[in-house]
Chains A and B, each alone.
Chain A
Amino acid sequence: MTSPVFEPWNDPEAKPLIEFQNVTKRFGSFTAIDDLTIGIYEKEFFALLGPSGCGKTTLMRMLAGFETPTEGAIFLAGQDMAPVPPNKRATNMMFQSYALFPHLSIWDNIAFGLKRESMPKPDIEARVDEMLRLTRMEKFARRKPHQISGGQRQRVALARSLAKHPKLLLLDEPLGALDKKLRQDTQFELMDIQEKTGTTFVIVTHDQEEAMTVASRVAVMDNGKIIQVSTPDRIYENPNSVYVADFIGEVNIIDGTVTPNGPDSYSVAWKDGQPPLNVISPTAFSDGQSCHLAIRPEKVTINAEKPADVDNVVQGKILDIAYLGNISTYHVELPSGVVIKAQSANTRRISRRAFTWEDTVWLSWTATAGVLLAN
């Protein structure tokens, strides 16, 4: 039995919950968001990923209503959001600093939004208890925010922002203040809660691992523009530009010029005196066009002897080894001075490692391992 695939962005019938239409936001002469158009679908877990200052937080604050677009329009469920103030929006936000009210107990923090709706008291109590259960904070209901740990505060902030059944939950770097182990646990918790509640989540983060783990789709942003929107695996395997390839994970970028030599097949001339590389690319390139070949280190195999029958092979000397425990990254210098990174799993104990510094090795990869990029 296969469960239906959740891919509303591939369904031409589906209508996005949120639509940005040619949105531009300027602060004085600084353009934070530059003519941006995007649709986010219901029940999506959408990640905005980018370096600090790329406009991702501004984008989120416009959704919450704290900023208004200079140009363009934002629609939530078909309604233009421009005239709607933050307190009338069906969105809730989880702040980076959590913004828990220090003078109120955990219980009152979670009940805060519900009380504003003049909900009957028993209903408020039931909803707060439900939220406390969801975030496993029942025991701490009577405490004040400064009496609980950072991870617990983060859960309270989540409970508070979910309490009002928002159509859209905004998470601004929600896990930034947590240490790595706790962050990883919380990421899965977030996904669980998102699935259970069926709320649409938009998360802002600069941590690519976090975005890849939690999100159904990732938007990579730079300088107020969205460079690529796709599922995590496509962002990783099929980046549309050197920027995206470089931002997500480790990558080798080889600059060269292409010559077509078959259907979808190209030969890339890249360094004088080196044989051209063979690449298969679904995107068409013209003869003599300059290009960048992006190859992930884990797709490069490292061999002691020259392998036979491979698409690409180069010889080099090990310059550096980065030992990460489970894997090692080898920095291999080619005679031309280019350094190529190759990764291999440490299936043997370190004392029995096959390669060491200054060893001459052969690197190989298949024609489909890399992605040929025009820019």
Chain B
Amino acid sequence: MRRFALIAAPYLWLLALFLVPFAIVLKISLSDYAISIPPYTPQFDWATGIGAFLEKLDFENFIWLTEDDLYWKAYLSSLKIALISTFMTLLVGYPMAYAMARAPAEWRATLMMLVILPFWTSFLIRVYAWMGILSNEGFLNQFLLWTGMISEPLTILNTNTAVYIGIVYTYLPFMILPIYAALERLDDSLIEAAEDLGCSRLTAFWLITIPLSKTGIIAGCFLVFIPVIGEFVIPSLLGGSDTLMIGKVLWEEFFSNRDWPVASAVAVVLLLLLIIPIVLFQRNQQKQEEADT
């Protein structure tokens, strides 16, 4: 009985804060736009009953998503940005995680702290700080002009480059931590054994270190990829007019157009798209657990 209560608590939590809101969003996505408060119809009415209410729901908004190329272009563009930035985060994060795992044991806790430290400042403030660094009169341009490497300020802010920089910066800890966890468990004698059997340092890294940190790499990539697809703050603050991401489209649909039904449809499709990588991620975790036992 107590065990049941223990399991029930998180499920009730999920039911109240995820499933119920999702059901509401799903319902709105099947409704029609209306100039009213709230701005959609039908509303549930006790007088007419559930049958009449359900009859008025349709898939119009989902069909609309396929007709206007803005939406699938935004989905594709989000996918592209998420893939590229995940890859870049991996390129930056792996060497950092490797260096942390190879550092003397008494340093590791401090290095770990440094990775987590940015979370102590609000995410918004950190993104605004990047605006200060990347703008035409920002620190980066001033520094480059001062060193004489450039004569004209570079336009970085409000481009996709700024979005990539922002994403890599923000999501780096999510990449580093799982890779670090995998690398730290790695037995040094495996590398020595590989060298003893004729590997150079580089081939030993490629044949032993990389495969044995694979689960960490996969976990890190999913932890970055999944939230980046729906990312809204970074593209809207650092990106330009040509930065097309589904999170931004969703926001504009909801707040600028006040078209709640279409916005809800966009959200539902996004969720369905994200379920695929989430399922893959869970299978990776499961495999890892099996390998550990």
Contact = CB atoms under 8 A, between A and B. Distances in A.
Contact of B190 (A88, A99, A116, A160): A99
A88 B200 CA distance: 9
Contact of A87 (B189, B199, B291): B199
A117 B193 contact: no
B137 interface: no
B23 interface: no
A24 B26 CA distance: 76
B187 interface: yes
Contacts of A66: 192
Interface string B264-293: 000000000000000000000000000100
Interface string A64-101: 11100000000000000000011111011101110101
B152 interface: no
A99 B211 contact: no
A92 B211 CA distance: 23
Contacts of A282: none
Contacts of B187: 97, 99
A9 interface: no
A94 to B, nearest CB: 9
Contact of B193 (A89, A95, A146, A164): A95
A116 B197 contact: yes
Interface residues of A, number: 26
A2 to B, nearest CB: 39
B192 A99 contact: yes
Contacts of A86: 192, 195-196
A116 B212 contact: no
B257 interface: no
A116 B203 contact: yes
B212 A102 contact: yes
A113 interface: yes
A297 B192 CA distance: 44
Interface string B191-231: 01111111110010001100110100000000000000000
Interface string B160-201: 000000000000000000000000000101101111111110
Contact of B197 (A102, A103, A160): A160
A87 B192 contact: no
A141 B238 CA distance: 55
Contact of B196 (A87, A97, A146): A87
Contacts of B211: 103
A270 interface: no
A97 B197 CA distance: 16
Contacts of B194: 101, 112
Nearest to B193: A99
B147 to A, nearest CB: 40
Given A101-B208, A102-B212, A116-B203, A87 B195 contact: yes
Interface in A99-158: 99, 101-103, 112-113, 116-117, 146
Contacts of A101: 190, 193-194, 208
A91 B198 CA distance: 10
Given A86-B192, A99-B193, 6 more contacts: A86-B196, A99-B190, A101-B194, A112-B207, A113-B197, A146-B291
18 contacts: A64-B192, A64-B196, A65-B196, A86-B192, A86-B195, A87-B196, A87-B197, A88-B198, A92-B197, A95-B193, A99-B193, A102-B212, A113-B198, A116-B197, A146-B291, A160-B197, A164-B197, A164-B198
